[in-house]
Chains A and B, each alone.
Chain A
């Protein structure tokens, strides 16, 4: 074990190296580029036993690692924003083929206008592909969850690929101390590669041929859904196991911060959860609010049971989204409302759309939005405005 100052991108690269990834495909895009650059350096210097494939596009990058993973090795790539959109078709292929692999997404907003800062538009646009999707809060979590994601995706109850999201620049290019586990620890944690099948000479297989029966085809889609549901348990188990090995456990799908006596909850995902912690501490210390924070680590599978558990008796819930489905609402809000409602939870829920296109959000902004909204609930029992575009001070 050694503590190194690492950017979020270097933490992702170190995780891929420690997981003994054998094939990496690289296509540069800000703010992801230094992930694959670092991996290229590891491979070139002989520190990492892997092949680097330089490709002509993100679509090809994912196609290449998908092919390698289909052949039976751990494979990894990284992208962001427009690159992820260009990959979008291939995401369906990897998930539909049930091939486990891991990808880092340095979450960046979408153009136009041209913009390289963080928001969650790119990663949230992949929710329906069948990939597991988690959003990290800090660089240690980037490293830990990238390693864990290999174990989760390679569990036979899951057999689906997974994305680890890290916010552009706030994590990708910010250096933090990161505890690097020993190679032996990771080797114990991650034994040999597991996948449902692989392509080998002498054992011909066809993947993706025209289905003989559309009922079978639809059942494949249902099986992906059921495997996402089954992944909830696996994510919890793997989190516990990693915690026993390294002392770092994150609560599985969700972490609830200062929740035991909380009445009013903030819900969020990604790097700004760090600011939300600060806001909750200050809302309690300076304003006397019984504030709590639900950190959603995994948006796919969506943690219905944990959300219900923590929010069943909430007086109010404010969901912060860093992306929006125009004409509807923020994606985290939509999932939260849906799953609370179908589970019989009737707490008032509000959507605060903030930090889109990389607009800076501070703990003070989060406190402002919270105080204004919760004051309404305390006076009138509900929110006057359910979806609010919040621009800060």
Chain B
């Protein structure tokens, strides 16, 4: 298939293709590992795919704050208050 040399509005889904979207954030989800039941709902529901699961011990999830927009969906779906939303720049 040839693109005919046209300028197409296409992109490959790679990390940060639209720049560091985390700079837009006004609220920030923070994670408390002690209450985590490893349900993975935050990982599943994150619309930006910025939550990574760590199977090898340590904190169960890592949030990539370079791209997290602070939408709060992970906090909303978390069944155990493991995740908390705080104002960006506030005390953790």
Contact = CB atoms under 8 A, between A and B. Distances in A.
A and B interact physically: yes
Given A156-B2, A206-B13, A223 B7 contact: yes
Interface in B55-69: none
Given A196-B2, A198-B1, A209 B7 contact: no
B7 A197 contact: no
B90 interface: no
A327 interface: no
A196 B12 contact: no
Interface stretch (A17-25, A57-65, A212-220, A252-260): A212-220
A206 B4 contact: no
A347 interface: no
Q: How large is the interface on B (under 10, 10 to 19, 20 to 34, 35 or more residues)?
A: 10 to 19
Contacts of B7: 216, 219-220, 223
A217 B17 CA distance: 15
Contacts of A157: 4
A209 B6 contact: no
A208 B1 CA distance: 20
Interface in A205-251: 205-212, 216-217, 219-220, 223, 227
Contacts of A194: 1
Contacts, number: 58
B11 interface: yes
List 10 A-B pairs, minimum CB-CB distance, nearest first: A156-B4, A196-B3, A206-B11, A223-B7, A209-B11, A220-B7, A204-B13, A219-B7, A210-B18, A208-B9
A197 B12 contact: no
Interface residues of A, number: 26
Q: Is the interface of B mostly helix, strand, loop or mixed?
A: loop
A94 to B, nearest CB: 12
Interface class of chain A by DSSP: loop
Given A156-B4, A196-B1, A196-B2, A212 B19 contact: yes
Given A197-B1, A209-B17, A212-B19, A96 B9 contact: yes
B39 interface: no
A196 B4 contact: yes
B12 A207 contact: no
Interface of A: 96-98, 156-157, 159, 194-198, 204-212, 216-217, 219-220, 223, 227
B16 to A, nearest CB: 11
A220 B8 contact: yes
Given A156-B4, A196-B3, A220 B18 contact: no
Contacts of B10: 197, 205-207
A216 B12 CA distance: 16
A206 B1 contact: no
Nearest to B17: A209
A286 B17 CA distance: 70
Contacts of A196: 1-4, 6, 8
A212 B1 contact: no
Contacts of B8: 97-98, 196-197, 220
A196 B10 CA distance: 11
12 contacts: A97-B8, A97-B9, A98-B9, A196-B2, A197-B1, A197-B10, A204-B12, A206-B13, A208-B9, A209-B18, A212-B18, A217-B9
A55 to B, nearest CB: 24
A224 B25 CA distance: 36
